[in-house]
Amino acid sequence: MIADSLTLATLSPESPHWGGIGTVYGEALNLDWEVERRNLLHYYERFPGFRGLVALVEDEVVGVGWGTRTGPGEWLHDRVAVQLGAAHPALQDAWLLNILAIRPAYQRRGIGAALHDALLAAQPCPRALICTRFENGTARAMYERRGWRYFEPACVINTGRARIVVMRREVR
């Protein structure tokens, strides 16, 4: 049973599990880890409120999640502000759950939910933002079950690679 062998460990550049994250990025997100590693370090160093966790099953990295406080100059914040206005309440004192990814062989076993819940419990802000591919109904359904709501009107961003939908949630 996965729940019995699941461990969540803190993610930082000094983490002994850093190398295993590349497999998650490649398998779950189809992203180039070398490019994304630089992006992750950029967020870690530049934006306050960084919280990250890796999901381990028998010491193997099977998932990763991380986020930071969001504000002007952060990619998603700036795109949401263009659509909804920088003064929108959901953008004020908010934390962005930037990545939540589970390797396909480990999906639908509660690992994503465990990572999600632990990250939101540890983040420092009263509200949070998340985005996912518009077509990813499985992820969207999990977020909806966990209290995430769509903006009205919907906030959909075309990244050039995919359309993403942005969701919001009051945390505290």
The CATH number that applies at residue 57 is 3.40.630.30
Please give the pLDDT value at position 1. Answer: 45
Please give the pLDDT value at position 3. Answer: 60
Q: Give the residues across from 154 on adjacent strands.
A: none
pTM for the whole thing? Answer: 0.90
Q: What's the start-to-end Cα distance of the chain, in Å? A: 32
Angle between helices 21-29 and 33-46 (to 10 degrees): 110
pLDDT tens digits for range 34-66: 888 888 888 877 888 899 999 999 999 999 999
Residue partners of 7: CB distance under 8 A and separation at least 6: 55, 56, 57, 59
Please give the pLDDT value at position 132. Answer: 93
Q: Give the residues across from 99 on adjacent strands.
A: 66
Please give the pLDDT value at position 57. Answer: 96
* Domain span at 163: 2-170
Tens of pLDDT, residue by residue, the chain (172 residues): 466 789 999 998 888 998 899 899 889 988 888 888 888 888 877 888 899 999 999 999 999 999 999 999 998 999 999 999 999 999 999 999 999 999 999 999 999 999 999 999 999 999 999 999 999 998 999 999 999 999 998 999 998 888 999 999 999 7
Please give the pLDDT value at position 2. Answer: 63
* Measured CA distances, 147 to 151, 162, 171 (Å): 13, 24, 9
Domain count, the chain: 1
